[in-house]
């Protein structure tokens, strides 16, 4: 039985972790044994039960954070294929293993095209047999990591697809969150940390409320990083938005939260291809408002299921003038029932175009077949 090792950053919920989980699941039909190594948050093994449920051939799931631990483990347990995504300990061990004459097929998943991200892999680029990229940034890959083999797989994986809710269902979802049924609700669902920049989301909501001239509720659904939560709560208090801001924390069924939203807001500093949360919002007919960071601008066209926020620098927050510009456009959309309905229909249509018939699991199996078959 072939042995495949996935070396990942962490096992708590997040977009990259979802991709890893789906790739482990993609190998379930094959006669391969799976080991998962991770390097952060040893007490947070959120996705481990699903990893084992989706692929019964998952064996050890091990917290090995550092280089020397990774080196010793790989010497004793040489894999037939190593799949890396941001495990620094394993990355630093590879050159040492090569000096000892120990090499094994290695695939690296890249979620971001930014130079600072790609530069992390420069020390192992000659030891990588294949790069897997989320969208078409081959030029950046060649510029910073050479002309090695690559495969492009959009992280569009199966999930519980939702249909567009009726107006009554939208009102019911708002009431379930303790929000007035007729209130305007904007929000974000997903991992919440500094990179997602929820303080800018909150500022955008404030500006929309100012332009609409009536209360606007803001919902944050998902695990909040501790330091980010403190800053967010301080900003809520400073802006006097305590009665109109709902920080829900982890939610078992986020589809109900999406259903409560009139517009989905994302103000991330940077992203990979196209976050699954955006697709989940689109499927329920929720227009999305986001900067064109990462691969988002290759998919979303302004006015075709959402609005794009002007943003040129992927390392900084959205500038205030761009926030105000976006707020004016969002407020105008919310005030126009006919325009909102058009955007809802376009949002759902875009989700269907993205996901219908796309077999990311099959593409992953094909990308690694020479080492696992």
The mean pLDDT of the chain is 95
Strands annotated E in the chain: 2-8, 32-38, 58-63, 81-85, 106-110, 130-133, 150-152, 184-189, 216-221, 245-249, 263-265, 288-290, 306-308
Residue-wise pLDDT for 94-112, tens only, equals: 999 999 999 999 999 999 9
pLDDT value at position 346? Answer: 97
pLDDT value at position 314? Answer: 79
Residue-wise pLDDT for 306-329, tens only, equals: 999 999 877 789 999 999 999 999
- Residue 163 region, left (φ>0) first, then alpha (ψ -120 to 50), else beta? beta
pLDDT value at position 198? Answer: 97
Q: Which residues pair with 217 in a beta bridge?
A: 185
Q: How far apart are CA 82 and CA 128, in angstroms?
A: 10
Residue-wise pLDDT for 157-179, tens only, equals: 766 677 889 999 999 999 999 99
DSSP state of 197: -
Q: Of 12-21, 82-91, 336-345, which gets the smallest average pLDDT? A: 12-21
Residue-wise pLDDT for 7-48, tens only, equals: 999 998 888 899 999 999 999 999 999 999 999 999 999 999
Q: What is the mean pLDDT of residues 208-235?
A: 96
Listed residue (279, 295, 316, 272) closest to 189, CA to CA: 279
Look-up of token digits 């208090």: 237
Q: What is the mean pLDDT of residues 118-130?
A: 95
Q: Please report the domains of the chain, with CATH numbers, ordered by start residue.
A: 2-156+358-372 (3.40.50.2000), 167-355 (3.40.50.2000)
Q: Are 197 and 231 in contact (CB under 8 A)?
A: no
């Amino acid at each position: 039985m072939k042995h495949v090792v996935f070396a990942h950053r962490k096992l708590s919920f997040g977009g990259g972790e979802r991709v890893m989980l789906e790739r482990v699941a993609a190998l379930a039909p094959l006669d391969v044994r799976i080991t998962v190594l991770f390097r952060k948050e040893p007490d947070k093994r959120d996705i481990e039960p699903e990893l084992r449920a989706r692929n019964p051939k998952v064996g050890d799931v091990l917290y090995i954070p550092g280089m020397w631990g990774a080196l010793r483990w790989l010497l004793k347990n040489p894999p037939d294929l190593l799949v890396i995504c941001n495990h620094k300990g394993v990355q630093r061990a590879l050159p040492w293993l090569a000096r000892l004459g120990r090499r094994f097929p290695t695939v690296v998943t890249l979620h971001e095209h930014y130079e600072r991200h790609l530069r992390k892999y420069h020390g192992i680029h000659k030891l990588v047999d294949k790069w897997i990229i989320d969208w078409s940034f081959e030029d950046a890959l060649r510029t910073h990591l050479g002309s090695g083999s690559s495969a492009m797989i959009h992280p569009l994986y199966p999930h519980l697809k939702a249909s567009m809710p009726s107006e009554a269902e939208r009102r019911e979802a708002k009431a379930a969150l303790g929000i007035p049924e007729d209130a305007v609700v904007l929000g974000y669902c997903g991992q919440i940390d500094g990179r997602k920049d929820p303080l800018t989301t909150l500022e955008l909501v404030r500006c929309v409320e100012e332009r609409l001239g009536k209360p606007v509720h803001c919902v944050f659904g998902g695990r909040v990083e501790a330091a980010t939560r403190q800053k967010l709560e301080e900003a809520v208090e400073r802006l006097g938005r305590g009665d109109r801001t709902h920080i829900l924390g982890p939610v078992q069924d986020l589809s109900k939260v999406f259903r409560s939203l009139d517009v989905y807001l994302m103000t991330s500093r940077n992203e990979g291809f196209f976050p699954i949360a955006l697709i989940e919002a689109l499927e329920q007919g929720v227009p999305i408002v986001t900067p064109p960071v990462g691969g988002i601008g290759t998919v979303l066209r302004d006015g075709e299921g959402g609005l794009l926020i002007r943003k040129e620098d992927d390392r900084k927050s959205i500038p205030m003038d761009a926030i105000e510009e976006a707020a004016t456009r969002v407020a105008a959309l919310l005030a126009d029932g006919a325009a909102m309905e058009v955007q809802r229909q376009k949002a759902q249509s875009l989700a269907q175009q993205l996901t219908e018939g796309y077999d990311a699991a099959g593409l992953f199996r094909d990308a690694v077949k020479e080492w696992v078959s």
